[in-house]
Amino acid sequence: MPQRLSFLGTSLDYAEAKVVVLGVPLERTSSWRTGQAQGPNAIRAASDSVEFFSAHFRKDVRNAKIGDLGDLDPYRSIEEILAEEEAEVTKILSDGKVPIVLGGEHTIVVPAVRAAAKFGPLQLLALDAHSDLREEYLGLRFCHATALRRAKERVENMVIVGARSFFGPDLSEPIFATPEEFATRLRPELPVWLSIDLDALDPSLCPGVTNPEPGGLSWAEVLAIFRTLQGFKVIGMDLVELAPPWDPSGVSAVCAAKLIIEAIAALWA
């Protein structure tokens, strides 16, 4: 029997794992480019080309004991998918493990945050080119353009880094920060959920996303954010909006895989 793809080729049983990867290939509310459903397996395939060792953090991520649960079934209603994701993330956290959720569209941050908030007050750090703070978009309350608005309803504090695209009213929200100042906006006593929309990065680094925006975070800035987060309790993360069809070179998937490796090395290895 052929083996299914897994992150870094891991075959570790769930019971042994400390860090647990879960794929949610949700692609239902796209308003422009599509392809996010291919994201989780593209990241897994790309992880085969990178080293386990982080030179930046001097850590081997195999020490984090990574397991991979595979993907949720995407051939159901969006409500069913999001409900199952919430249940899976709740279980991972209740078992004392760290969930890493691979998207898929940014909507998947909502059930992840809902799950994490069940364990007490929570704050959210989002790296995103867009505010994603609309109350509704195209008649939908749950979609990629409202994802951070819905997540914000479940957390005590939210900070967005990398935003450079706004629809207007969201600029009045006092939640936007630069890479240099974001830590002063986080509360040190509260656990953090980290949400990374790949369009936060400069599109020259990661062009294969659904809504690229000129400018953006550099690789060094993201690694510096991870280093700063070592001073906080980060309990899980999601990484979303990789769209492999828009980058035939595959470099965006490699970038996504490497980001996850560096985050694990910084925070959980």
Q: Tell me: pLDDT of 217 over 50.
A: yes
Residue 159, C-beta contacts closer than 8 angstroms, at least 6 positions apart? 123, 124, 125, 126, 175, 176, 177, 182, 185, 186
Pure H helices in the chain: 39-47, 78-94, 109-117, 147-152, 182-185, 219-229, 251-267
Domain boundaries along the sequence of the chain: 7-267
Q: Tell whether pTM > 0.85.
A: yes
Q: Residue 134's pLDDT is what?
A: 76
Specify the amino acid at residue 212: P
More reliable by pLDDT, 108 or 173? 108
- Closest alpha carbon to 138 in 35, 25, 30: 30
- CB 152 within 8 Å of CB 170: no
| Longest pairwise C-alpha distance within the chain | 55
Mean pLDDT of 125-136: 86
Query: Across all residues in the chain, what is the average pLDDT?
Result: 93
Mean pLDDT of 84-88: 98
Q: Residue 28's pLDDT is what?
A: 80
Interval 41-63: pLDDT, tens: 999 999 999 999 999 999 999 99
Report the CATH fold assignment for 7-267: Arginase; Chain A (3.40.800)
**Residues of the chain with pLDDT > 70: what percent?**
95
What six digits make up the tokens of 173?
A: 């929200």
Q: Tell me: pLDDT of 1 over 50.
A: no
- Closest alpha carbon to 221 in 238, 235, 200: 200
Interval 131-151: pLDDT, tens: 878 767 566 666 566 889 999
